[in-house]
Amino acid sequence: MMRKISILIILILLGAFFCSQVLAVETGGELKAGWEGELQKDGSFDSEFVENLNLELYIPPIGNTEVSYAFQITRPLQDLLAGKKASYFTKKLYLKHRFDRFHLTVGRQPVSWSFGSLLNPVDYTLGADVLEEESSSKYTDALEVFIPLNWNSSLTAVASFPEGLGTETEKMKWGVRGRFGIKGYDLTLNYVQEAEASGETGGDLDNVVGFIPKQRIGFTLKGDLKDLGIYGSFGHYFDQGLDSSNSYLLGADYSYNLNYHTKISVYLEYLGVELRFLDPQIRTIILKMKSGDTRLDLLIGGVSYPIDDFSSISLMTLVNLDDGSLFLLPSYQNTLPGNIDLTINSSVFCGEDNTLFAPGGLLPRAIISINLSYPF
């Protein structure tokens, strides 16, 4: 079924492309090349060059129907030189039709339920995804119905197929989300039912958590308290035969005027996650939690400073309040002449042995990446 839909979308795309004189199809994207190095605890250093190409076709809508196609090719040059097949990943290949009362989107699409926090424990796809940062797990084969209620309120229903489309409904993941604008606050309420065959989320936490309860209810809130941006979320995770758990997130952001033109942006976020459903051994061995402890308490703080109109520096810190270990992410960004972006990111893991962010085991001592990207 999904294959048929993909073929249909490709045919429409090709049709649209060859009618480009009428539809004026445009392409755009980003070419990125970089170097990444990892310093291990034993002092060894590994590095590699990475390049990737993101391409998107911009096809004008045909009436109330839109077609979107975007893909990524990782290491195209290296694979070409090595005689290998390029690694291709479809990020978007969907059809969207805007009916009078609702929108229907069918095909590969990003499903993201961000609400403005840095970490989102109640997203459709779980994982610590930094806002705007690319995460392939967000792109999924799905069917989405979006029903607007008023200018800032809506209902969304999503059905996705993480293990490929089949007739078995238990292999389908689905969720509903209500978004409501009330007195300047953005409130959302959601429910997600994971696919039965595997409890895996498809998110970045898979390696650590392994699986999570198959059902969850999430609530988020974002708004302003005078000049302070505030936000929070509550999640309840439950499943048959597993202990239920909760997550709590509370955050605030603020811009501080340093000298009229220089504004420093700061944010602070607390995330508490109960992991009662996890095997005690996973909690103590992988997450380095103390025996009997079922809750992970993280504090995330960040600051960004614009050096000038074209460059900025930022620092993000993630601290495990339970064991004092921390994870530092300094970053530098500069738009160079020629419209080329230079980004230098680094991750430094600090902590005593047997703490969450201690180097060794799954984590290196530090990671550095230098990237040049060109949007076109």
Partner 1 sequence: MRKRIGLLLGCLIIISIFTSISVSAMTAEEIIKKRDSNEYIKTAKAESEMTIVSGNRRITKTMVSYIEGDNGLTIFTNPRDRGTKFLKRDDDLWMFFPEAEDLVKISGHMLNQGMMGSDFSYQDMMESDKLTELYKFELIGEEKIEGRNCYVLEGIAIEGKKVSYYRRKSWVDKERFVGLKEELYAQSGRLLKAMKVNKVEEIEGRWYPMESVMEDKLRKGSRTEFVIKSIEFNPKIPAGTFTLENLK
User: Which chain residues interact with partner 1 by CB under 8 A?
Assistant: 28, 58, 103, 109-110, 112, 114-116, 131-132, 134, 138, 146, 148, 150-152, 154, 179, 181, 184, 186, 222-224, 227-229, 253-255, 259-261, 263, 306, 308-310, 335, 337, 339, 375-376
Under 8 Å CB-to-CB from 170, ≥6 apart: which residues? Answer: 195, 196, 197
Q: What whole-number distance in Å separates Cα of residue 127 and Cα of residue 129?
A: 6
CB count in 10 Å sphere of residue 224: 12
Q: How far is the CB of 324 from partner 1 (least distance, A)?
A: 30
Helix/strand/coil percentages in the chain, nearest 5: 10, 55, 35
- The closest alpha carbon to 70, from 9, 142, 131, 153, belongs to 9
Q: What whole-number distance in Å separates Cα of residue 64 and Cα of residue 73?
A: 30
Q: Which is nearer to partner 1, 42 or 227 (CB)?
A: 227
Residues shown for the chain: 376
| The two structure tokens encoding residue 177 | 């989300």
Q: Which is nearer to partner 1, 167 or 260 (CB)?
A: 260
Q: How far is the CB of 43 from partner 1 (least distance, A)?
A: 37
Under 8 Å CB-to-CB from 150, ≥6 apart: which residues? Answer: 181
CA quadruple 355, 360, 363, 364: dihedral positive or negative?
positive
Q: How far is the CB of 310 from partner 1 (least distance, A)?
A: 6
Q: How far is the CB of 174 from partner 1 (least distance, A)?
A: 19
Q: Which is nearer to partner 1, 246 or 334 (CB)?
A: 334
Q: How far is the CB of 144 from partner 1 (least distance, A)?
A: 10
Q: Which is nearer to partner 1, 45 or 99 (CB)?
A: 99
Q: Which is nearer to partner 1, 244 or 373 (CB)?
A: 373
Q: Which is nearer to partner 1, 120 or 245 (CB)?
A: 120
Q: How far is the CB of 319 from partner 1 (least distance, A)?
A: 23
